[in-house]
Structures are given as C-alpha cells and as structure tokens.
Amino acid sequence: MALSQSLQQKLLQKLSPQQIQLMKLLQVPTANLEERIKEELEENPALELSEENHDEQYDNETKDEFDSSDEEDFDVDGSEDEYDNIDISEYVGDEDGEIADYKLRDDNYPEMDDKKIVPYKIETSFHEHLLGQLGMLKMSDNERRIAEQIVGSIDDDGYLRRETAAIVDDLAFRQNIETNEQEVEKVIRLVQQFDPPGVCARDLQECLLLQLYRQQREGKNVDKAIDVLTDYFDEFTKKHYDKIQRGLNLDDDALKEVISQIIRLTPKPGGNHADINKAESYVVPDFFVYNNGGKLELTLNSKNAPDLRISEGYRDMLREYDKGSKKDKRQKEAILFIKQKIDAAKWFIDAIKQRQHTLSSVMETIMSYQRDFFLTGDETTLKPMILKDIAERTGLDISTVSRVANSKFVQTEFGTYRLKFFFSESLSTDSGEEVSTREVKKILSDLIEGESKKKPLSDEKLTELLQEKGYNIARRTVAKYREQLNIPVARLRKEL
C-alpha cells in the first residue's frame, strides 16, 4: 500500500529543499506537531505564537542592540555597495500590512485551554523493572555485576538468547571480570526468579516451565502440566494430544485441565510488561468525524491550527531602518538576516496552512469514498480504495496521500482508526462486482470465529464457503488472508 523506499527517494530528488521540508512536515502526526513547532520557534526568532501579552522586554532589548552602534565598527568607505539593492518595501507598509496579518488563525477550531494541566504518565522500562528487583538481592559485588550483565542481555520479550559462554567472554573483555559458566548459570537461575514469571528463559519451553514451577511452589497442582512440557513439548505444540494421553495415561478431562493450565501461561513475559505500558498510551486523533443526522461532519484536531505569526519586534526594526538616514554595512547585514528569518517564518506558516489544507482534503475524500462505513461502522461496507483513487480525486501526488495515510488517525463514533485502515485492494465476485479485500477478511474472520473448535475449518473448506457466498478466491489467497489476520492453521485451532 505504501510507496517503496526507493520510489520515495526518487520523488524526493525531484523536489526543492522547501518542498522536501513541507513533505516532512505533512508526515508529522498531530501528537508530534507541537514539538516540531517548538523547534521552529527556538530556531527562528522572527516566528512566534500569537499571545495577548508579548515579551516587550525581549523586543526592546533586541531593538536596543540593533540601534546601539559604534561608528568605528563600520566600514563606510565603499564596502556597502553590495547591500544597496535591499528591498524591504513589502515589509514596512504603514497600513495593516502583510506581515501584521500574516497569521494562521481559524475560528472553526476550538481553542485549547492554556491553563489546563495535561497529565502524563511515568513509565518504568522492562529492564529498569528487572534492575529494581536486582537491588533487593543480597549478593557479592562480583555476582551483582554478572547479574547486571545478564539483565542487560535480556531481550525486550523477556528471553535471554545470548549463550552462557558469550556472557563469560563479555564480562572478561568488557568489564575485566573473571568468571566461568557455572557461576553465570547460578546467577541466571537467580534472575529467573524475578517478576514477571518466565523471565530470563532461553527458549519457550523453559519459559513456560519456569512459570509452572512458580505455581507449583505456590501450592497449585500443576505436576501433570510440567510432565507434558518436559517430556512431550513437541507433541503439545503440534497438538498431537493422542500421543500425550497414551504416554501419560491421561483421560480427556485430565488432558483438558492440563491444556487449560498451559494456555494461561505467558509466552513472552517481557512483552506483557510492554503491553501494559502500551495500553496506557493514548492515540491523539488528527480528525474527528461526526454523524449529524445522516450528514457527516469533519473537524481537524485544534492542535493542527496553531496561532502563529511574524514577530512585531522584527517588523519594527525594519521600519526604523527604512526611516533612518544612516545605513552602514553592519545595519544592512542585520537587515538581510532579519529578512531571511521573516521569509523563513512566512514559509513555515505557509507550510502549516498547506498541511491543514492537505489533511482536510485527503480526509474529506476518504470520508466521501467510505461514507457507508462512517455512517454504520460496518467493515463489510468498505469499498476497494487505493492511494491512486484518493490522489486522483484530490489532485495530490500519490506520495503525499501516502504520507497522510500512514501517520494519521481519525476518531469516529465506532472507534479510532488509522487512515490506512480504509485502504484495501479489490476482489471480484461472481456478478463481476469489485469488493474490498477487507470485506473478505471480515467474512473470513467471522467464519473462523463461528466454527466448531473440535473440528476447525480447513483452508480448503473456507475457500468453498467463500466461493458459495460469491467471492472468486483461491485457496492460497485464503491462506494469505488468514495469516494476515494472525489466525493459525486449522490443526492449531483445534480444541478438545
């Protein structure tokens, strides 16, 4: 769906530096736009946020520095000719000129309450969580440094995939710590007692067994589950339950209990910690779509419309220069600098305006194209839609539409979606009608959800059912869609 990196690079090579910056600004999501504007404000003193109370002291200090000049610092003998063609007429008009009105305002956007305190959460990373537990153990300095090396080697999902011998070498060469594999293994077993259960395992089997051993120490009856994962791990992962039953002499009820105990375990203990933090994160929508009695209304997030303007202090300096009779080289150099900063500020405000216009244009077109979905929330009503469709309707380049679709969110009464959610390829039906592949995936998901878990539907059967509904689809395509939906094959969906 997105443009390939090589194609994007070719397109960028044809753009001017300003156009490239505009494309990058367009790609910035609303959640990060405020930080981008802050950076521009810090880099360009001619750009400022419009406020009721301006920093007059700063303006005065700037003007005083500009006005106070020591004549001996200037070279007035012929060296100022190169600055004689400076034209600042467009910047110093007496009427409410272009600069004074060169603001970015839109009364259609609700103003943010500056006094409102926005809460933010403080996260503890997975490795900080482990190091915090390490601090509660009594161990020698040497063991602690070994433990720190082990914790630092644990992947984000909670697994220790570095070989013990490699950890011994790392300690020797990087920290000058002499140790051996036995001592490292001893410390690994200590770290494996940390929360979350299963952390620091070398593979999935060890991870699950660590969790069961923890439950066993807590008094739970998980002996059979431990036997299954110890002696019949491969059979269990492949769901060859008959072999397990024969080997451990388990009846159906006992096997169901074992399976229930195992599937409640966490295959990625570190990922679980990351998911908690992720769940506490918030998506900042770029658009809001409302259904007003059958009429769809689009609103941009107010953060997309910051109140920017050109600094009045810089305009005053240009006016004073224009009125003055003495124009030496130093003053003209300063004026050139001011003009450059004002031009850069103008361009940035224009870029923000263009960003607003482009976002609105793309979202309005998507909203019109997928009107049925925004009215009903039914995924099966989504029409086939690719980047080219939106590019043709808006008159924008495909790369521009791609940047908008890949980084923006829209909030509807049915939930918040990435814009790229609404893009999909087409598939033909028996009647020749083109439908969205997302519609087919939704029906495929519903079929699997409604299947008998004792006898799951094979890909061949799913293909037959879809074809009966009028969708011309091959078995390999069904398999591809199933994998994209993260649904395993029928054998692995089987339950007793």
Confidence class of residue 493 from pLDDT cuts 50, 70 and 90?
Answer: confident
Higher pLDDT pick, 102 / 478: 478
Q: Which residues contact 294 (CB under 8 A, 6 or more apart)?
A: 375
Q: What is the CA radius of gyration of the chain?
A: 32
pLDDT at residue number 15: 56
Residue 122 has pLDDT above 80, yes or no: no
Confidence class of residue 91 from pLDDT cuts 50, 70 and 90?
Answer: low
CB 3 within 8 A of CB 399: yes
Residue carrying the six token digits 């020591």:
70
Confidence class of residue 127 from pLDDT cuts 50, 70 and 90?
Answer: confident
pLDDT at residue number 17: 59
Residue 374 has pLDDT above 70, yes or no: yes
Query: What's the pLDDT tens digit per position in 456-486?
Result: 888 898 988 888 888 888 888 888 888 888 8
Higher pLDDT pick, 125 / 202: 202
Pairing between β-strand 409-412 and β-strand 287-292 as defined by DSSP bridges: parallel
- Give the helix ranges, DSSP H, for 71-140: 126-134
pLDDT at residue number 321: 64
Interval 100-110 mean pLDDT: 44
**What DSSP element (H or E) covers 436?**
strand 434-436
The region of weakest confidence among 183-187, 224-228, 255-259, 270-274 is: 270-274
Residue 115 has pLDDT above 80, yes or no: no
CA distances from 346 to 85, 341, 349, 359, 363 (A): 21, 9, 5, 20, 26
The region of weakest confidence among 300-309, 424-433, 441-450, 465-474 is: 424-433
Confidence class of residue 362 from pLDDT cuts 50, 70 and 90?
Answer: very high
pLDDT at residue number 114: 44
- DSSP E strand boundaries for 3-159: 47-49
pLDDT at residue number 365: 93
Closest CA to 8 of 30, 26, 29, 23: 23
Give the torsion sign (CA, 39, 43, 49, 53).
positive
Query: What's the pLDDT tens digit per position in 17-60?
Result: 566 666 777 777 777 888 888 888 888 887 887 764 344 433 44
Closest CA to 209 of 185, 188, 192: 192
The region of weakest confidence among 15-29, 248-262, 274-288, 365-379 is: 274-288
Interval 231-247 mean pLDDT: 87
Higher pLDDT pick, 188 / 79: 188
pLDDT at residue number 212: 92
Q: Which residues contact 267 (CB under 8 A, 6 or more apart)?
A: 204, 207, 208
Portion of the chain with pLDDT greater than 70, in percent: 73
The region of weakest confidence among 95-109, 260-274, 340-354, 421-435 is: 95-109
Choose the most confident range, by mean pLDDT, from 104-118, 313-327, 453-467: 453-467
- Tell me whether the omega of the peptide bond preceding residue 267 falls within 30 degrees of 0, making it cis: no
pLDDT at residue number 399: 84
pLDDT at residue number 495: 75
pLDDT at residue number 401: 87
Q: Which residues contact 299 (CB under 8 A, 6 or more apart)?
A: 108, 109, 287, 288, 289, 290
Mean confidence (pLDDT) of the chain: 76
Confidence class of residue 10 from pLDDT cuts 50, 70 and 90?
Answer: low
pLDDT at residue number 313: 77
Portion of the chain with pLDDT greater than 90, in percent: 11
